[in-house]
Structure 1
Amino acid sequence: MSKKKTILVTGATGFIGHHVVNELHNKGHNVIAFSRHQKKAELLSWWGKVKFVIADMQDPNLNIRELFGEPEILIHLAWAGLPNYHAMFHYEENLPASYHFIIKMVKSGVKQVLVAGTCLEYGMQYGKLSEETHTEPITSYGIAKDTLRKFLQIYQQNISFTLQWVRLFYTYGTGQNPNSLFAQLNSALDHKDDIFNMSGGEQLRDYLPVEEVAHRIALVAEHPECNGVINCCSGNPISIRRLVEEYILSHGSGLNLNLGYFPYQEYEPMAFWGEGKKIHNLLLKNDENFLREKK
């Protein structure tokens, strides 16, 4: 295993955040879980096993050293208001709040910053999207995330720090927003519904289970040499219809799909998926090291 690190995770009670905290703790790291929601934290599997800090990231009087000590790595996952991708608060509130908090952490001595980006930074581009593909965001959320990345890259000219921009594609699993596709699908399965309403399902997307996303984020955090833009993706496009049908089949359900009930999203191209050379090379290297240690 990599050397034990002290890692601060913002958005620790969120969909991805609570899985990341759990993954880091299981790997033996000293984790500081940061969130505004203590009641949510108390229900999670890592509660009582890691240090928990409740505070508001936007508090101008936030005392970094007093609250967090001296973490070596910041994993910034906090971002309010999802999945409302068009709301202006992403740009007006979330962007400056995240920027100022990250800069405070860098000024306090943090040398490695991992931030969750989004595939929506690519905008309406079709096909395979690599880490070198230029960004063309069209949603408030995508623009805000893309701008944050650019701001931080400019700030690196003032203070040297490692920036790992982990650009997330599509994620599903336990704790997901109840309005998301798979949360609604699970609800239909739990209630033994006869019909599930969805879009035409012909969109090609790139999906990973949240546990795998958390594993990859933790792995990247352990390897500061893997930096810059890092696509967190499967690299394997799959249609939404096929993904849903396979999920239903795996649950032994006879749930029928009402295709075309919802229109396709206007802010997403019909077919796009990721190419993640950096993270795939890191996963390969990690597997090789694991096999070597077992011998």
Structure 2
Amino acid sequence: MSKKVLITGANGYIGRHVVQAALNKGLTVLAADLKFDEIDDRVIQVTHPIFSNDAQLFEKLGSPDIIVHLAWRDGFIHNSSIHIEDLPQHYQFLQKMVDSGVKQIAVMGTMHEIGYHEGAINAQTPTNPESLYGISKNALRDVLFNITKNTETVVQWLRAFYIVGDDARGSSIFAKIVQAEHEGKEVFPFTTGKNKFDFINIDCLVKQIVTTITQTEFSGIINVASGVPETLANQVESFIKDNGFKIKLDYGAFPDRPYDSPETWADVTIISNIMEKYDK
């Protein structure tokens, strides 16, 4: 019998891809979200709210073997107050799942937990987040490791970096360029584009996520990323060219964000080991 995985935020930008990859891997998928219009119909739809005080919440969510917690509001609006306001609910949800004895929890993290940092980021890199998004994810990670410290629950904190692909449905700069091109705009206001970041295509990211949750040998903080620093300008110019767009970048129209590092990327030692050993 295949393992049951509950995927929260299943209808989101990352979620719908994770759902499909998990199904293709042979897992039974319990998909939790407010709507299901973009989700593979092979899932078991979970309509019971995950942020609920229900004493039988674990059972009402399908008694999963694995939880992949992707649900998060305003992920692309880094200083939205929603991040702080929702934090207690994320904590309460995870605490209930741990108390119910769930075997494995994987939660989506972000490189924005780190704050300003130059060079490679690994599991030991100190965190000093500078946005409400980063602060909230950083706090949730600390809480999760704290509440699972003396339990049997395996914890995998999936720290993502910059994601490209399926751009028309995202809210990233690439999605905004798609929209501007379709609106017939000739120029797109841009930063200097000199900063180097770690970019990964959504399909590669999802493969890393699903392979990670199908094993328990590797746990803790796991970077899901490419490990290759590339300038934002190169990524965006390539994106425009590959899509045959006519829009031009207006360099320097926006200042670089003060909390964005000149050059930072993921140490991918752990995820490379996982993929080598378990991506069958």
Q: What is the TM-score normalised by the length of structure 1?
A: 0.88
Letter in 1 for 2:272: H
Letter in 2 for 1:28: G
Q: 1:229 to 1:132 in 2, by over 3 A?
A: same
The aligned counterpart of 1:50 is: 43
- Measure, in 2, the Cα distance between the counterparts of 1:176 and 1:97: 30
The aligned counterpart of 2:227 is: 235
Q: 1:218 to 1:160 in 2, by over 3 A?
A: same
2:60 to 53, 58, 67: 67
- Contact 2:11–2:39, Cα closer than 8 Å, also in 1: no
TM-superposed deviation, 1:236: 0.5
TM-superposed deviation, 1:177: 6.2
The aligned counterpart of 2:13 is: 15
Q: 1:272 to 1:226 in 2, by over 3 A?
A: same
TM-superposed deviation, 1:55: 3.2
- Measure, in 2, the Cα distance between the counterparts of 1:186 and 1:221: 32
- Measure, in 2, the Cα distance between the counterparts of 1:8 and 1:175: 25
Is structure 2 residue 79 aligned with structure 1 residue 86? yes
1:270 to 247, 252, 262: 262
- Measure, in 2, the Cα distance between the counterparts of 1:139 and 1:255: 30
Q: 1:105 to 1:258 in 2, by over 3 A?
A: same
- Measure, in 2, the Cα distance between the counterparts of 1:15 and 1:253: 23
2:241 to 240, 245, 249: 249
The aligned counterpart of 1:24 is: 22
Q: How does 1:163-182 map to 2 (within 5 A)?
A: 163-174=155-166, 179-182=171-174
Q: 1:65 to 1:285 in 2, by over 3 A?
A: closer
- Contact 1:15–1:175, Cα closer than 8 Å, also in 2: no
The aligned counterpart of 1:34 is: 32
Give every structure 1 segment of 4 or more consecutive aligned residues whose post-TM-superposition deviation is greater than 3 Å. 175-179, 188-193
SS of the residue aligned with 2:52?
coil
Q: 1:265 to 1:186 in 2, by over 3 A?
A: same
5+ unaligned residues in a row in structure 2: which ranges?
Answer: none
- Contact 1:70–1:109, Cα closer than 8 Å, also in 2: no
Alignment deviations for residues 29-69 of structure 1 (CA, whole Å, 9 cap, x no partner):
10000012x2xx12x250x2110112332222363244223
Letter in 1 for 2:23: H
SS of the residue aligned with 2:191?
coil
Q: 1:122 to 1:177 in 2, by over 3 A?
A: farther
Deviates most, 201-210 or 61-70: 61-70
The aligned counterpart of 1:6 is: 4
Deviates most, 252-261 or 16-25: 252-261
Deviates most, 218-227 or 180-189: 180-189
Is structure 2 residue 92 aligned with structure 1 residue 100? yes
The aligned counterpart of 2:120 is: 128
TM-superposed deviation, 1:175: 6.0
Q: 1:217 to 1:179 in 2, by over 3 A?
A: closer
